[in-house]
């Protein structure tokens, strides 16, 4: 069995899209292994998004804080029998900018935001879901959201 990490962002919960989003994975034989419920704080966002905060700087960080800090999210470990799980999940999720995401993807079908609008409104783009982009990052992100012990249980030491 293969495992990866996703996190449903605050807009997915506020818009009551959780069940609809999960149908996209179920249809492709990807199941939920573990599900959490997390009210996010600054520290968690600083760790989870450390790479982009470092790359894009303070303004990007404060936009992420406006999007996430104090909000509810649902982190999950997903599973399937296919080695292509990480890539399969990324394909099902679609492009980061929902206005550019293909039809049939979660962000393309259910996303209602665009990078252009975010830029003009000076904020982070609401794109419903985060998905790990490698097994290595899935391991790290699972440790951040569920703890090291849980991460090692699925991804090894």
Name the residues annotated as catalytic. 130
Q: Which residue, among 51, 116, 126, 140, has the nearest Cα to 96 in the 3D structure?
A: 126
Residues 49 and 33: their CA atoms lie apart, in Å, by 23
What's the min distance (Å) between Cβ of 40 and ligand ATP? 13
Residues 121 and 36: their CA atoms lie apart, in Å, by 31
Name the one residue in this structure whose structure tokens are 């997903």: 78
What's the min distance (Å) between Cβ of 157 and ligand ATP? 25
Contact call for residue 40 and ligand ATP (CB under 6 A) = no
Taking CB under 6 A as the binding criterion, the range among 20-28, 36-44, 75-83, 122-130 that sits at the site for ligand ATP is 122-130
Name the one residue in this structure whose structure tokens are 């492709």: 28
Taking CB under 6 A as the binding criterion, the range among 20-28, 35-43, 71-79, 117-125 that sits at the site for ligand ATP is 117-125
Binders of ligand ATP in range 72-111 (CB under 6 A): 96
């Amino acid at each position: 069995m293969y495992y990866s990490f996703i996190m449903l962002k605050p807009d997915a919960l506020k818009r009551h899209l959780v069940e609809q989003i999960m149908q996209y994975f179920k249809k492709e034989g990807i199941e939920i292994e573990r599900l959490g419920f997390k009210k996010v704080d600054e520290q968690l966002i600083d760790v989870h998004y450390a790479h982009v905060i470092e790359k894009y700087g303070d303004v990007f960080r404060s936009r992420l804080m406006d999007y996430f800090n104090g909000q509810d999210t649902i982190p999950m470990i997903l599973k399937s029998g296919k080695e292509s799980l990480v890539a399969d999940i990324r394909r099902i999720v679609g492009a980061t900018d929902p206005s550019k995401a293909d039809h049939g993807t979660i962000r393309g079908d259910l996303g209602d935001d665009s990078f252009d609008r975010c830029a003009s409104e000076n904020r982070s783009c609401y794109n419903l879901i985060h998905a790990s982009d490698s097994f290595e990052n899935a391991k790290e992100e699972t440790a951040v959201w569920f703890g090291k012990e849980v991460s090692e249980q699925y991804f090894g030491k």
